[in-house]
Every structure is written in structure tokens, then in C-alpha cells.
Amino acid sequence: MPDHYIAWWNVENLFDHATAARPQYLRDKLRTELHDWTAGVRDAKIAQLASIIMQMNNSSGPDILGVCEIENANVMGLLTQAIAQPGRNYSVVHHDMSDGRGIDIAFIYDANLYTPDANNPWFSYEVLKRSATRDIFQVNFDTARGNRLILIGNHWPSRLGASEYRVIAGETLSYWIERITDIVGGEPTVLVMGDFNDEPFDVSLTDFALSARTTRRVLNGRNPYLYNLMWPLMGQGISSYVYGNQPNMLDQLLVTKGMLRQSASIRVLRDTVEVIRLPGMAAGQYNTPRRFGRPSKASTYDPTGYSDHFPVVVTLREA
């Protein structure tokens, strides 16, 4: 029974270099932010991220890695090259999205283990407030054994904005899960991951995304409930993000009922959920993630840092 090591990481503003080709509105938007963001600085950040990613899964790297806050296919290609190692054949699924800062969601996957659906490899949907925000990004993978694994990447609107925007995202996600079930039939194996910018107990997740803290509700409920795998970590001082010295579990992994049953073709191993915090990734008494930051804001720039989020991981087992 093969296991699948799946990771998610908000890698924090992984932009291409300041003079890279981009639409005029993004050049104007990012001009100050990307001041002194040279190709060398970009590559240094990628090297820092890669040093952590390659240590995952007992130093064999993740089977699939979902990421957000990446600008384009070029930086994804550079990150993929940086984590290459013997035995791996990494490839990328990426789609340019509608975010106002030009940041996207993407997946790196081992092409020896997974094949995107030839007919419908991915699907992306803009979550709208007054204007488009980051898309919800779905990728349909077939495993080497021929089973279907559906991944949905999320990067919900910032906590600096109104919570109603994340409610819209949650409602959109729940409808999406319902539509997948209608189209696929049965109990599809869907792993939802992302930076939700809300915690597991917030209404955007509990009331609108229908994220539950008990498997019973998910298995027995008539609605398209999701089981939130982060609940067992709550109250243990574990967090994926720290703001104002307060821990937050903003990065989460959720599954449909089709991944909870012992008889599932691909089921989740709930006790493998983990927030990755390797030596050197955290600082201070609150274990705050060490940001790489950017040269244009000296107070945040640390070329030995990584991201303002920690990665989250889970293992799936295939029958």
C-alpha cells in the first residue's frame, strides 16, 4: 500500500526579479515593493525554501507540494529545479490568476507518481468581492495505480480586509465540493489545502465551507462537510503563522468523507498531520516563522529566513 506525502506552504511573496516581464499594472503596483529584488535575491530565497522542502518526507522531498504567493511559471520552474534529487521527476501545474498583486497558487508533483487528468487536468475559479481576488485552484490527478486524487488549493482574502470576503470564499468552496460530488458521483477523494486567513473555528470555515471538527459529522451528514485535519493540533501551542505574538492556524488541510473511510481507495492518515518547524525556521519565544522578507523593507529582510508561514503536511495511504 503506497503512501503519499502531501505538503502545503505559503512561501511568502516569491516574485520574479524586479525587471522581469509583467503587465504594466503589475509593474506599477509592485515598483516600490520589488525595489532591489534582483535575480540574485530571488534565487537566494528559492534556495532557502528548497533547503526546507528537500528535508521533508525523511529527506526524500514531498510527493506533492502545493504553494501560494508565487508570481509566475518561471519562479515555479526555478523552485522545482532547486528541489530536484535522484529518484524524483518533479513537474508543475500552474495557472495565472486574477489577484491584484499577481500572486498565484501552484502544485509541484512527482510525475513518476501522478498524471494530471488528460481531459480536465485543472480548474480555476475567481472568488469575487468587489473585484477578483485569488482563485480557488483544483487539479485532478490520477495515481500510478489508477486512482483519482483531487486537490484544491486556496489562498483566501487577507485578514486585513473584512471577514465577509472569506465567507464568500468559504461558500464558494462548499458549493464547489458539492458540484464535484455531483459530477464524479459516489464519494470522491478530495484534499483541500490552503492559507485560509481564518482559523478552524471561524465561521467562514465552520458555517460556510462546512468544515467540521468531528469525523462523525462528516461521515453522517447530508451536506458536503469537510473534516478539518488541524483540529487535533489546536490548543497545543502549534501554529502555522504568528501575528502580534499570537499563534494562528491559518494553513489547513481538509478532506471529504471519501478519504475518511477505511475502505477508501485513498484515505487520510489523520495522525500524520504536522506543522513543519525545522531548526532555524522559527525565532523568539513565540516561535514566529522567520521571514525572508524583501530588501525594499529593511525591517523584514533576512536573507537567512524563509517565509512568514510554516508548511503543513499529511500522509495519504492508497489501497
Query: What are 103-127's pLDDT values in tens digits?
Result: 899 999 999 999 999 777 676 766 6
Q: What is the pTM of this model?
A: 0.95
pLDDT of residue 174: 96
Query: What are 200-247's pLDDT values in tens digits?
Result: 999 999 999 999 999 999 999 999 999 999 999 998 889 999 998 899
> Are 18 and 35 a contacting pair, CB within 8 Å?
yes
C-alpha cell at 152: 484544491
pLDDT of residue 128: 60
Which distant-in-sequence residues (6+ apart) come within 8 Å of 11 by Cβ? 49, 67, 68, 69, 70, 79, 307, 309
pLDDT of residue 133: 59
**In percent, how much of the chain has pLDDT > 90?**
84
What mean pLDDT comes out for the span 258-279?
A: 97
20-29, 78-87, 256-265: least confidently modelled range: 20-29
> In the predicted model, is pLDDT for residue 131 greater than 60?
no
pLDDT of residue 125: 66
Nearest residue to 69 via CA among 158, 190, 129, 164? 158
> In the predicted model, is pLDDT for residue 98 greater than 90?
no
pLDDT of residue 132: 45
> In the predicted model, is pLDDT for residue 155 greater than 90?
yes
pLDDT of residue 164: 87
pLDDT of residue 129: 59
pLDDT of residue 127: 66
C-alpha cell at 117: 487528468
DSSP the chain: --EEEEEEEEEEEEPPPTTS---HHHHHHHTTTTTT--HHHHHHHHHHHHHHHTTHHHHT--SEEEEEEE--HHHHHHHHHHT--TT--EEEEE-----TT--EEEEEEETTTEEE-SS--EEEEEEESSSEEEEEEEEEEEETTS-EEEEEEEEPPPTTS-HHHHHHHHHHHHHHHHHHHHHH-S---EEEEEE-SS-TTSHIIIIIS-EES-HHHHHH-SS--EEETTGGGTTTT--SEEETTEEE--EEEEE-GGGTSTT-SEEEEEEEEEE---TTSEETTTTEE----BTTBGGG--TT---SS--EEEEEEE-
- Give the domains, in start order, of the chain with CATH numbers: 3-318 (3.60.10.10)
pLDDT of residue 123: 66
> In the predicted model, is pLDDT for residue 63 greater than 90?
yes
pLDDT band at 254 (very low <50, low <70, confident <90, very high): very high
What mean pLDDT comes out for the span 310-318?
A: 98
> In the predicted model, is pLDDT for residue 161 greater than 50?
yes
pLDDT of residue 235: 85
What mean pLDDT comes out for the span 165-176?
A: 92
101-110, 140-149, 161-170: least confidently modelled range: 161-170
Average pLDDT, the chain: 93
